Each structure stands twice: as C-alpha cells, then as structure tokens.
Amino acid sequence: MEPTAYLLAFIALAALATFLTRALPFLLLAGHAEHEWLQFLGRFLPPVLMVLLLVYALKTPLVSGVGLAQSLLALALVVLLHLTLRNALVSILGGTAGYMLMVQQWMPL
C-alpha cells in the first residue's frame, strides 16, 4: 500500500473510532436517561473528575517543589477568571495560557 493511502486510511479509521466511542454511549443509553444511576453520575462525576485533575496537576509541583509557584499562580488565575466571568472555557484557556507564559517566558525553573 502506498504511504499516502496508508496514512489516509489510518486517519479515517482513527476518526471513525473516535466518533464511535463518543457517540455510542449517547445512542445506547438514550432510553435510560432517567435511570437513577445515570442521574447520580451526571450530578457528581464532573466535580469529582475536576478534583482528580487538580490533584494530578499539582502532584509533581507539590512533591518536588519545581514549578510550584507557576502552578499555584495558574490555579489562582483560573479561579479568578471563573469567579468573574463564569465561563469554564475562558477560565481553562486563560489558566493554561498563563501557565505556559510563566513557564516558558517569565519564570523558568
């Protein structure tokens, strides 16, 4: 198989697999949307995942001390942006951009 065709086939298969893994839960569970377990997961899983991501993101800086200032400042920026603008996407993008600027430009450690 020609390399270009192989890469295009691989990209198409990866795109199809990604689409199916995102769409199948909605298609398969559409009739069970009122189930108490799905209601419970829909209510409590997002905050639990956010705390898990926070712990994971701060794990290395808290243990090693490397990058702790940047991580805490980026966290403070996310909280400030979210409290003022109430927009999760702006908060996440602002915190990420602030962290990357601090790490790469102003405060390298």
* pLDDT tens digits, 93-109: 999 999 999 888 876 55
- Is 14 in the same domain as 45? no
| Unique residue bearing structure tokens 């980026």 | 74
- At 13 the three-state DSSP class reads helix
- Is 21 in the same domain as 41? no
- Is 24 in the same domain as 41? no
What is the domain count for the chain? 2
- Is 74 in the same domain as 86? yes
What is the extent of the structural domain holding 86?
Answer: 34-109
- Is 52 in the same domain as 80? yes
- The mean pLDDT of 24-39, rounded to a whole number, is 86
Contact between 109 and 65 under an 8 Å Cβ cutoff? The reply is: no
- Is 75 in the same domain as 103? yes
pLDDT higher than 70, residue 31: yes
